[in-house]
Structure 1
């Protein structure tokens, strides 16, 4: 179900991008008014593209909400971080260890570093 809605969502998104790019710029936001002689320059074509844009936008929003609802239903009630921390604690219990006897002894003379020869 989720895959079907996702595919429909992607097709609607691509169609919406294409329809928006086909429309004529009427606001002149970039200083381009869209000159005359365009195939889609009549008001009827602009209205049809506008209606199709609204329909695709509504479909995009509906599929977005549907995907959100499906994802929420599949989600567990806990956090992923909480689950990971609990699994690590259960799988690997911590046991204290005592240091061995050799590490408690003071260093001997043979453990001392060798000094480099002095140049006099």
Structure 2
């Protein structure tokens, strides 16, 4: 359930970023010209993008609250393992350092 809500939240966030970037800073919305009647005029596009931004922003906030509620309710209580509290750590074995051959010893050729 949490994974599904997280994917939906990601899609809403991507759509919200896209809609915000499509708007003009002056509020013109897409900069679409054309006839004064119709849905996608400059004013119609600005209204559509503004309403889309408001809807997606609200959906993003609601999904964030839902994700926090699901994460909080599905959380398992933490447990501490106390079975090793009174045991001492085993002594680590001492490993001797490898011995280096003497420098003046003649090298022994390998048999072929």
Q: State the TM-score, normalizing by the size of structure 1.
A: 0.57
- The Cα RMSD (Å) is 2.7
**Residue 12 of structure 2 contacts residue 60 of structure 2 at CA under 8 Å; is this kept in 1?**
yes
Alpha-carbon distance, 1:2 to partner: 1.2
Q: Provide structure 1 residue ranges, at least 5 long, that are not aligned to the other structure.
A: 28-33, 96-120
Count, aligned residues: 81
- Name 2:76's counterpart in structure 1: 76
Higher RCO, Cα 8 Å, sep 6+: 1
Runs of 4+ in 1 over 3 A off after TM superposition: none
- Name 2:44's counterpart in structure 1: 44
Alpha-carbon distance, 1:90 to partner: 2.1
Alpha-carbon distance, 1:94 to partner: 3.6
- Name 2:84's counterpart in structure 1: 91
Once residues 38 and 71 of structure 1 are traced to their aligned partners in structure 2, the CA distance between those partners, rounded to angstroms, is 42
Once residues 11 and 44 of structure 1 are traced to their aligned partners in structure 2, the CA distance between those partners, rounded to angstroms, is 25
- Name 2:93's counterpart in structure 1: none
Describe the SS at the equivalent of 2:83.
helix
Q: Which has the higher helix share?
A: 1
Q: State the TM-score, normalizing by the size of structure 2.
A: 0.61
Once residues 61 and 44 of structure 2 are traced to their aligned partners in structure 1, the CA distance between those partners, rounded to angstroms, is 26
